[in-house]
Structure 1
Amino acid sequence: MGYVGVTTGLVFAELGWKVTGLDTDALKIQSLSEGKLSFYEPGLDILLSQHLQSDNIRFTSDPIQAIREHSVIFLCVGTPSDINGSADLQYVRNVAEHIGTNMNDYKLVAVKSTVPIDTNRKVRQWIREAQTSPHPFDVVSNPEFLREGSALYDSLHPDRIIIGSNSKQAVDTLKTLYRSINAPVLVTKPKTAEMIKYASNAFLATKISYVNELSRLCDKIGVNISDVTKGMGMDHRIGPHFLRAGIGYGGSCFPKDSKALLYTAKENDIQLSILEKVTEVNNSQASYFLNVWEEKLGGFDHRTIAILGISFKPNTDDLREAPSLAIMQHLLEKQAILRVHDPIAKLPSYLQGEFVQQFDSLEDTLDGADAIILCSEWTDYIGANWSQLRSVMGDYFIFDGRNKLDGKSLTDLGFYYYGIGNR
């Protein structure tokens, strides 16, 4: 019952099905049963309250009951990166073995988790080995394509539904579950479905890193990267999405999935050199522009820097692989004093200290600040009263790490505005 599991469960409840959410964490189950989410995602809290009231969804920490009482089981556990970049499948295996041990009749196991190619075969094997008596079952790949911050909309209005299975019965069952959703359905082999998920995320990461690397050249030669990408995006073969330069991608998907795909390629003696470069550019993008901005400011040492937005993107509290964390670490090494703001996310404990303080209001955050670094583009910052906020600052530098602020308007107000390849 993490991000994917809760979202999936609530969406199926919204589609009219009776849903049970299983997690071995009893405190999480109690919290969900009381209508409280352990993460922030717009709209899900309202849906949770509605479907608890209508009894379309319930939660349990009893795997025996959950497995035996349901013929369709969605597997939504995490697959974190191992130290070598591979996806850690220990939680997937644990669930598969629970299903095998407690199976009492036919089960359809749909793998929502992002898993390496050929994991469906392994799940079938783990279930079969754990069975105490033979029962029929199918394992299907049904990857999710959710964007954090808009997961509810994406689930109800997906671009496509991918079903990886060799079983007609399993495919027909999943089609029935999704029958209320108007989206094309692509049925493939399980391996292909697993590959589609990884290939999709790796391609989106590639678009981001391509533009980010291009922004460095634009910064050098005095070309506005935002104008360049606007012109590129008008070409329907390219499109405008994921073409905005910034300080790099983060979150739970792109970094992890890129590593896992690179690991799979290496295991098969194939070099994905483009994806290797994508990861390299992303890992260096924030530090590249920090060096540029440090020169503009005349040094970060003992300067007070306001960090706006610490989640990896707006409308989420997710800090996994967030570029803001690397930026703050860099600034602290430079002996800067940090004042931090985010509408939802909270500073991790390892960053809390004498030289880092989080504030509830923008005015307090910017009080006496020499410079601002925008790390995630919450609407609170895009629509802020910058004329009023300027009056509380010590100096007037704005470093726009997402190219979302109006540089001309800010310059007219007396700010020194610098974006990403956006002079």
Structure 2
Amino acid sequence: MNIAVIGTGYVGLVTGVCLAEIGHSVTCLDIDEEKVSLLNHGRSPIFEEGLEDLLGKNLRRGRLEFTTDYEEGLAGKEVVYLAVGTPETADGSADLTFIEAASRAIAGHLKQNAVIVTKSTVPVGTNQSIKRMIEAELAEPVQIRIVSNPEFLRQGTAVQDTFHGERIVIGSDDPIALELLEEINRPFQLPIVKTDLRSAEMIKYASNAFLAAKISFINEMAHLCAHVGANVDNVAEGMGMDSRIGSKFLQAGLGYGGSCFPKDTNALIAMGRSHDYPMPLLGSVQHVNENQREWLVEMIQARLGSLEGKTIALLGLTFKPNTDDMRESPAIRVAEKLQAAGAMLRGYDPVAVSRARQLMPAEIMLTDNLQEAVQAADCAVIVTDWKQIKDLPLTEYARLLASPLLFDGRNCFALKDAEASEIEYHSIGRPTVNSSRAVTSLASH
């Protein structure tokens, strides 16, 4: 099938490349000329495992191309995917500026009947507004149908999730459009949930908000574990064995970040507010998540006293491993708080140093060499659980640091291993190991 994808961010680029991989002819549109040139040369502007290989492969096959020209990009296309950003506004609601601009561009250049498929995460009712907007501004007398096809991709494993996900959701009030989207997605061989337009829009928000709530729940339990002397790892294991609960997203840590959970939770709260329906549960989810960063800094201060002149190594700067995305990364807030307290910072990340230069405090020393970051620092703080960080033996941390002191914001290491290494090891919701001072947990401050 001939398909256009508007937007080449994380969602649009993965969508376009993977649709080409299953046999469709795909043209991806973006207004960024430099990015389009890069993509046409087979280079991905984002770090996503397996993406660049599939990009190059489908360019060579002639199934995939990139352009900034809407007339060229929409020519002969039966299906047009909208995958542009919907960033957060000051009040937490979704900014639909890019969606509206793309919709107007479609209306001005579409010369044949087409199905418009919204991949972007948009508030309930937006797809109906998109349809009305396009129909009102069509330059040619063509028919459009509208479908909501929300994405459920995890950054770092987006390609894997596209081919091995748990479901594909397609929503429309038009049976013909539903049937067409089902046909397009059949080669993925995944369960397909067909629903009405508004329910599909809501499924995306509800899914992300639920997962965010699960993360904040286990982090709140971690604080209580610290006060009562329990181990949150053991608690999570026992809870997760209950099939009604499940073990996923029960890892205590520094909370969620990235482009989806914070934005979508805020948007759902804003949606409720616009309908005079408060969302107190989600407000609490946000509060717990935001406070995780504060508590980590308080724990470091409680252990070291004054941070003035102390050298602290922040390990992992992206919001999660296997991506270069730093949007809403806990590392940003932690770095700002530590620097404000007088600490001298070093930041390590294997892939995001260039992005970090734009987002982290200017004074931080950045490196993609883990040993260089840790060498002779007064303490190290694990912010993101990259494999490189977990694979460095605790004995090596103890050898490199000026004093063997490690704060683990992701509970990367087993307590018995920390004990054997003789490193002073502070983690979240678990007993402190080899402590020379009475600081029991992140949650106790």
Unaligned regions of 5+ residues in structure 1, if any?
none
Query: Which residue is 1:47 aligned to?
Result: 54
The counterpart of 1:349, out of the listed 353, 358, 363, is: 358
- Residue type at the aligned position of 1:385: P
- Cα separation, 1, equivalents of 2:360 and 2:237: 37
Deviations 1:349-379 (A, max 9, x none): 353534x101232211111111111011011
1:299 CA drift (Å): 3.6
The counterpart of 1:377, out of the listed 373, 379, 385, is: 385
- Of stretches 147-156 and 180-189 in structure 1, the one that deviates more from structure 2 is 180-189
Deviations 1:159-186 (A, max 9, x none): 1111110112111111111111222211
**TM-align CA RMSD:** 1.2
- Of stretches 76-85 and 64-73 in structure 1, the one that deviates more from structure 2 is 64-73
2:108, 2:137 within 8 Å by CA — same for their partners in 1?
Answer: yes
- Residue type at the aligned position of 1:408: K
Find runs of 4+ consecutive structure 1 residues off by over 6 angstroms. none
Deviations 1:68-126 (A, max 9, x none): 22110110000000111110001101111111111211010000000000001110011
- Cα separation, 2, equivalents of 1:291 and 1:391: 25
The counterpart of 1:132, out of the listed 119, 139, 142, is: 139
Whether 1:327 and 2:334 are equivalent positions in the alignment is: yes
1:407, 1:418 within 8 Å by CA — same for their partners in 2?
Answer: no
Deviations 1:380-411 (A, max 9, x none): 01111332342221011111101122332123
The counterpart of 1:226, out of the listed 230, 233, 236, is: 233
1:133 CA drift (Å): 3.2
Whether 1:240 and 2:247 are equivalent positions in the alignment is: yes
Query: How many residues are paired up?
Result: 422
Tell me the secondary structure at the aligned position of residue 129 of structure 1: helix
- Cα separation, 2, equivalents of 1:342 and 1:406: 22
Write the mapping of 1:157-172 to structure 2, written as runs, cut at 5 A: 157-172=164-179
Whether 1:270 and 2:274 are equivalent positions in the alignment is: no
- Residue type at the aligned position of 1:138: R
Paired-residue identity, %: 38
1:297, 1:397 within 8 Å by CA — same for their partners in 2?
Answer: no
Query: Which residue is 1:109 aligned to?
Result: 116
- Cα separation, 2, equivalents of 1:213 and 1:259: 20
Tell me the secondary structure at the aligned position of residue 215 of structure 1: helix
1:213 CA drift (Å): 1.1
- Residue type at the aligned position of 1:337: M
- Residue type at the aligned position of 1:197: K
- Of stretches 407-416 and 397-406 in structure 1, the one that deviates more from structure 2 is 407-416
- Of stretches 201-210 and 392-401 in structure 1, the one that deviates more from structure 2 is 392-401
Q: State the TM-score, normalized to the length of structure 1.
A: 0.98
Tell me the secondary structure at the aligned position of residue 58 of structure 1: strand
Q: State the TM-score, normalized to the length of structure 2.
A: 0.93
Whether 1:367 and 2:375 are equivalent positions in the alignment is: yes
1:36 CA drift (Å): 1.1
- Cα separation, 1, equivalents of 2:23 and 2:142: 28
Write the mapping of 1:3-18 to structure 2, written as runs, cut at 5 A: 3-18=10-25
Query: Which residue is 1:72 aligned to?
Result: 79
- Residue type at the aligned position of 2:39: L
- Cα separation, 2, equivalents of 1:31 and 1:263: 37
1:414 CA drift (Å): 1.7
- Cα separation, 2, equivalents of 1:211 and 1:392: 32
Query: Which residue is 1:415 aligned to?
Result: 423
Write the mapping of 1:62-211 to structure 2, written as runs, cut at 5 A: 62-211=69-218
